[in-house]
């Protein structure tokens, strides 16, 4: 069992206090704690300040807390498989003292963290500033994957940015596939490698001249099932006999989601503060978590009816997903659905035919809104509400193609043309 002891290495009036951390007989680490003391006020036998003044009592309290902090960090590090070194010990001491550790930015993990920290100021794909929450989470996952790779293949030694070349990428890909990750996930990791290296080059860090030759890899996905609730199905859900309070509450959220088109996380965070009235029109105004966009959604009469007695109460996304499946089961949303693209994060694929209610998740509200109102509301307006960045992505989301959109536009044009060709009807009011 690891043990910590504090000691001095001098007898001066200003002596540094050291932490000696014994992992086992072969591994004993020692680093300065950042605290100092007059050697005359130190008990060598007890390894602590002599308790004779308020100052030494306060110092002992800090050292006791530091010992607890280091032991807790050690237990976490061992569980995560981290290598315990002198640098690790110094890192923990610096964290305890609120001293920002010196980053060695030539290391891949350190530079990745720098990139994450600067995410609010990075240019995004929409020529704006600030990476989305989803992009930041992806980078954090990438960093954790690199740490695992370092642990398994390099005995926890840090990968340097300058050593990332085509050979490294190939070996990294082989390892990722061996972990049973999907092609798309592997592709994202390779893309992140290239992004981090190119950003490091901008800041004058040495990188391999092969970086620009790293090619993206991706998988063309099969068309996924477009699972949404039609207006008739929503009516069945609305009139279904449900007794349990939790399911009645989830039903209200579900029906509301089909009328406002928001992601589950944004939907369940709506409170009375989000409701406003603009020129006599009641709206919900919210900031979407994924895109950071502020959207205003007019409330249809059906939505106002749902919340006339107040908003449904808050619940977790996990419970919401569980409850709405039960709600749809009670409402007999049982159309057989064959799922041919149920790929897991590690690449496994299954093919199942199940009743539709088995596939219902929080996403169904946003998709139902987009699908049911497509053609009734201008596509750019729908996209602004759902948060889709491009029309191509939006059309794929509801199972349409650019040809469907063209046919829809042709119908509208034909109506305009026929209206123009119809001669004005003149009525005789009186004979002169």
2-37 per-position pLDDT tens digit: 899 999 999 888 899 999 999 888 889 999 999 999
> What rounded mean pLDDT belongs to the chain?
85
CA distance 421 to 414: 10
Domain layout of the chain by residue ranges:
3-96, 108-213, 231-415
pLDDT band for position 338 (cuts 50, 70, 90): confident
CA distance 252 to 266: 15
**pLDDT (mean) for 386-415:** 68
**DSSP, residue by residue, 256-299:** HHHHH---HHHHHT--GGGEEEETTEEEEEEE-TTT--EEEEEP
Query: What would the CATH number be for the domain defined by 231-415?
Result: 1.10.443.10
**pLDDT (mean) for 241-269:** 94
Q: Is the pLDDT of residue 409 over 70?
A: no
pLDDT band for position 393 (cuts 50, 70, 90): confident
Flag the least confident range among 159-163, 270-274, 402-406: 402-406
Angle (nearest 5°) at CA 341 between 340 and 345: 145
pLDDT band for position 121 (cuts 50, 70, 90): confident
Please report the pLDDT score of residue 304 as a whole number.
92
How are beta strands 275-278 and 15-22 bridged, if at all? unpaired
Please report the pLDDT score of residue 402 as a whole number.
52
Please report the pLDDT score of residue 415 as a whole number.
54
DSSP code for 160: B
Q: Is the pLDDT of residue 226 over 90?
A: no
Contact 226, 371 (CB under 8 A): yes
Please report the pLDDT score of residue 414 as a whole number.
58
How are beta strands 28-37 and 281-287 bridged, if at all? unpaired
Contact 105, 111 (CB under 8 A): yes
CA distance 130 to 14: 48
Please report the pLDDT score of residue 32 as a whole number.
93
Please report the pLDDT score of residue 67 as a whole number.
94
CA distance 159 to 161: 7
Flag the least confident range among 79-83, 141-145, 208-212: 79-83
pLDDT band for position 428 (cuts 50, 70, 90): very low
Q: What CATH fold (topology level) applies to the domain 108-213?
A: DNA polymerase; domain 1 (1.10.150)
Q: List CB contacts of 167: < 8 A, sequence separation 6 or more.
A: none
Query: With b meaning 16 or more CB within 10 Å and e meaning fewer, what string describes 89-104?
Result: bbbbbeebeeeeeeee
């Amino acid at each position: 069992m690891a043990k910590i002891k504090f000691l001095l290495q001098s007898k001066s009036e200003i002596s540094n206090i050291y932490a000696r951390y014994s992992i086992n007989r072969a591994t004993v680490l020692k680093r300065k704690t950042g605290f100092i003391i007059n050697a005359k006020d130190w008990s060598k036998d007890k390894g602590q300040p002599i308790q004779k003044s308020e100052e030494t009592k306060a110092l002992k309290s800090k050292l006791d807390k530091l010992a607890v902090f280091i032991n807790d960090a050690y237990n976490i590090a061992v569980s995560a498989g981290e290598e315990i070194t002198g640098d690790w010990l110094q890192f923990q001491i610096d964290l305890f003292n609120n001293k920002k550790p010196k980053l060695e930015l030539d290391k891949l993990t350190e530079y990745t963290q720098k990139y994450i920290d600067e995410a609010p100021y990075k240019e995004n794909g929409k020529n704006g500033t600030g990476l989305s929450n989803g992009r930041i989470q992806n980078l954090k996952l990438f960093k954790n994957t690199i740490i695992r790779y370092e642990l398994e293949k390099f005995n926890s030694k840090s990968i340097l940015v300058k050593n990332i070349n085509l050979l490294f990428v190939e070996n990294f890909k082989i390892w990722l596939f061996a972990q049973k990750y999907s092609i798309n996930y592997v592709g994202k990791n390779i893309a992140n490698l290239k992004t981090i290296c190119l950003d490091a080059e901008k800041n004058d860090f040495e990188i391999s001249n092969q970086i620009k030759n790293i090619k993206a890899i991706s998988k063309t996905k099969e068309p996924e099932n477009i699972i949404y609730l039609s207006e008739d199905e929503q009516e069945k859900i609305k009139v279904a006999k449900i007794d349990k309070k939790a399911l009645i509450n989830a039903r209200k959220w579900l029906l509301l989601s089909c009328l406002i088109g928001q992601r589950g996380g944004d939907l369940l965070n709506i409170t009375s503060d989000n409701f406003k009235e603009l020129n006599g029109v009641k709206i919900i105004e919210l900031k979407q978590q994924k895109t950071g966009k502020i959207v205003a959604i007019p409330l249809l009469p059906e939505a106002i009816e749902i919340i006339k007695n107040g908003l449904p109460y808050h619940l977790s996304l996990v419970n919401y997903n569980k409850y709405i499946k039960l709600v749809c089961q009670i409402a007999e949303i049982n159309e057989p659905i064959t799922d041919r693209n149920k790929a897991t994060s590690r690449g496994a694929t299954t093919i199942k035919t199940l009743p539709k209610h088995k596939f219902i998740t929080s996403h169904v509200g946003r998709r139902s809104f987009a699908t049911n109102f497509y053609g009734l509301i201008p596509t750019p307006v729908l996209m602004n509400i759902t948060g889709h960045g491009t029309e191509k992505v939006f059309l794929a989301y509801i199972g349409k193609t650019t040809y469907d959109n063209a046919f829809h536009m042709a119908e509208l044009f034909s109506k305009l043309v026929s209206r123009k060709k119809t001669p004005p009807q003149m009525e005789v009011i009186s004979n002169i």
